[in-house]
Chains A and B, each alone.
Chain A
Amino acid sequence: MAVVAHAAPFARAQRFEASPAASDPPLVKWVIIGISLTFFALFLLLPLLAVFVEAFKKGWEAYLRAVVEPDTLSSIRLTLLAAAVAVPLNVIFGIAAAWAVAKHDFRGKQFLITLIDLPFSVSPVIAGLIYVLVFGAQGWLGPWLLEHDIKVVFAVPGIILATIFVTVPFVARELIPLMQAQGRDEEEAALVLGASGFRMFRDVTLPNIKWGLLYGVILCNARAMGEFGAVSVVSGHIRGQTNTMPLHVEILYNEYQFAAAFAVASLLALLALVTLVLKTFVEWRAGIQAQEPEAP
């Protein structure tokens, strides 16, 4: 998923199709394309279409009514809040981790990289559960929190924590390979020329990683806004208070308000589409940057 790795040019398909040795017979080609596209349509395209069709089943007005409903608006606010906290924190963490891992040598580096990726392999449900175990009424800090009248679980802080957990690796795992590939020369050159650590970072490192950073932020944000399982466990599902957009979709759906559920879902699907467009744009930009020849 690395931003530069995926920015390879499309032109090579022509080369393969023109080669007598490496091209497939037209029949084979179209059968494979046919199967691929059927699979693609069935499992990816149709669900996406279904969201929008179901959302507008009862017309524009019903759609708009569902979207501007106070509980919906409050869920949008909470979703934005969670992302607004989680994304910047994970950006700081991602840059710090990538700086330590990519620009320095130390023992146990591979282990640290594995730890950074860990949240990706933990079920979202467990991601929620662990915060219940720490902050819940029967949890480690439960009695203390109760005494000081602080609510974490089944309240907004819990939702934010769970969101942070599931999005920890996004920025770091984009930046680490990118910064490793860029090497240390430019930073060293800046230091030789007398730059302070801060100037070196601001004027040399940051401009070099901006596309990778943006890519990580886009993916991180999409997951932060769309997270369901982890948030579901710590939310408590209080309408208008601890419901994020995905949780609101679930509640509406379970109450058989299908059109309304799909209306809110369509907002999230729209977010996904915007994410994919931005992501493709950044890949294209980063691809241009990566294709600029390094000093040969």
Chain B
Amino acid sequence: MSAVKVRRVLPGFGLSMGITISYLSLIVLIPLSAVFIKSASLGWSDFWQVATAPRVMASYRLSFGASLLAAAINVVFGLMLAWSLVRYNFPGRRIVDALVDLPFALPTAVAGIALTALYAPNGWLGSTLNELGIKVAFTPLGVLVALIFIGVPFIVRTVQPVLEDLDIEFEEASASLGASRLQTIRKVVLPALAPALITGFAMAFARAVGEYGSVIFIAGNIPMVSEITPLIIITKLEQYDYAGATAVAAVMLIVSFLLLLVINALQAWSARSNERVR
């Protein structure tokens, strides 16, 4: 009996693996490779010129900057929200818990026009803010608001299960050893939540960088000011500048891949430290 071919008892490995690989190749991998092949046809110096043009650079700064800031804000408020949902009883908690996933379920275009209606200078919130001299819609601040909206569930939903699994005994042990509540939170609870928080941060950031639908309505899309990178790609496409669009897309894709690797590593770390906590 040769050991070259692994024999399997459960059936269907060949079939299911065949479907998986073919489907992924046809729908995802081969089309995605087009981005790199097409941008390679541009040549290095042209590629560099397109990918680092001042207007494109401004869009990177906005997309990455606003995404980082939005994810950071979500870490703070998402943690509080997750904490409230797991640790406190308050009226309407179940509804709040269910609605946290709204940004996953609500089409981005709908979110976009709704946020614009709220924050436009004549909108519900916008009119008040306007009087205070704060302009949200059609400025980079508007981009930030939209990115906060879509990032909320990433933080809450990665922290929440870890918080639920965190046994009460750790805090009781800490208190019995004489720690104050604040010391317990800082030295026992937060370190246990850190992997999940960082993972949620990275996921929210990755999603925000590529976000399009909820941003374009509220951003105003002023070149060099409130134009996000995905919009640059669309604009170039509409001008039939396929090579240019592809070059910018390649830059974004590489960043996405790197983020994906980071998130994977973070998730593995998070899972491992959860085991240790238990």
**Taking the complex as a whole, does A directly touch B, i.e. does some CB pair lie under 8 Å apart?**
yes
Tell me the smallest distance from the CB of A108 to a CB of chain B, in Å.
11
Alpha-carbon gap, A99 to B118, bound state (A): 46
Alpha-carbon gap, A175 to B211, bound state (A): 26
- Given contacts A33-B88, A47-B111, whether A40 and B260 have CB atoms under 8 Å apart is no
Q: How many A-B residue pairs have CB under 8 A?
A: 307
Alpha-carbon gap, A245 to B110, bound state (A): 10
* B132 proximal to A (CB < 8 A): no
The residues of B that contact A140 with a CB separation of less than 8 Å are 34
Residue in chain A with minimal CB distance to B170:
A22
What bracket does the count of chain B residues touching chain A fall in? 35 or more
* A178 proximal to B (CB < 8 A): no
Tell me the smallest distance from the CB of A27 to a CB of chain B, in Å.
12
Residue in chain A with minimal CB distance to B231:
A125
The residues of B that contact A232 with a CB separation of less than 8 Å are 212-213, 234
Which of A22, A95, A276 is within 8 Å of B99, CB to CB?
A276
Which of B87, B99, B101 is within 8 Å of A13, CB to CB?
B87
* Chain A 78-104 interface residues, beta-carbon cutoff 8 Å to B: 89, 92-93, 95-97, 99-101, 103-104
* A295 proximal to B (CB < 8 A): no
Most buried by B among A121, A124, A275: A121
Alpha-carbon gap, A47 to B113, bound state (A): 9
Alpha-carbon gap, A117 to B52, bound state (A): 29
* B114 proximal to A (CB < 8 A): yes
Residue in chain A with minimal CB distance to B173:
A21
* A73 proximal to B (CB < 8 A): no
Tell whether, in the assembled complex, residue B230 and residue A229 are in contact, meaning their CB atoms are under 8 Å apart: yes
Most buried by B among A10, A95, A261: A10
- Can you list 17 pairs linking A and B with CB atoms under 8 Å apart? A25-B181, A32-B83, A40-B96, A44-B103, A45-B99, A47-B118, A48-B102, A54-B114, A100-B16, A103-B10, A117-B260, A123-B233, A133-B35, A168-B23, A168-B28, A228-B109, A249-B113
* Chain B positions near chain A (C-beta within 8 angstroms): 6, 8-13, 15-17, 19-20, 23-24, 27-32, 34-35, 38, 77, 80-81, 83-84, 86-90, 93-94, 96, 98-111, 113-115, 117-118, 124-125, 145, 148-149, 152, 157, 160-161, 164-165, 168, 171-172, 174-176, 181, 184, 206-207, 209-213, 217, 230-231, 233-234, 237, 242, 245-246, 249, 252-253, 256-257, 259-261, 263-264
Closest 10 CB pairs of A and B: A123-B210, A226-B107, A21-B175, A197-B11, A228-B213, A229-B212, A22-B171, A272-B105, A130-B31, A96-B19
* Chain A positions near chain B (C-beta within 8 angstroms): 1, 5-6, 8, 10, 12-17, 19-22, 24-25, 29, 32-33, 35-37, 39-40, 42-48, 50-51, 54, 89, 92-93, 95-97, 99-101, 103-104, 106, 110, 112, 114-126, 129-134, 136, 138-140, 161, 164-165, 168, 184, 187-188, 191, 197, 200-201, 219, 222-223, 225-229, 232-233, 245-247, 249-250, 253, 258, 261-262, 265, 268-269, 271-273, 275-277, 279-280
